[in-house]
Amino acid sequence: MSLQTAVIGIVQLIIAIILAVIAPCIGFYVLGKITKGIEEEKEIARGNTA
């Protein structure tokens, strides 16, 4: 395996890790905007799993 191939693999790994961290953050942000006015934690505590 050449050095260039190893560097490309490491860069791809770093990009994948960054995307894996950013994607849930974006998802929670969008969910918060869509369900504005609904407090999800309180609904789950009340037994509403829908």
| DSSP track, 1-50 | --HHHHHHHHHHHHHHHHHHHHHHHHHHHHHHHHTTT--HHHHHHTT---
Q: Is there a domain that residue 26 lies in?
A: yes
Give yes or no for residue 33 having a pLDDT over 80.
yes
- Answer whether residue 15 is part of any domain: no
What does residue 18 show for φ and ψ, rounded to 5 degrees? -60, -45
Q: How many domains does the chain have?
A: 1
Of all residues in the chain, the percent with pLDDT exceeding 90 is 60
Note whether residue 2 is domain-resident: no
Task: Identify the domain containing residue 45 by its residue range.
Answer: 21-50
User: What's the mean pLDDT in 17-33?
Assistant: 94
Q: Rounded mean pLDDT of the chain?
A: 91
Judged by phi (left if over 0) then psi (alpha if -120 to 50, else beta), residue 39 lies in beta
Of 1 and 33, more confident:
33
3 is a domain residue: no
Quick check: is 27 in a domain? yes
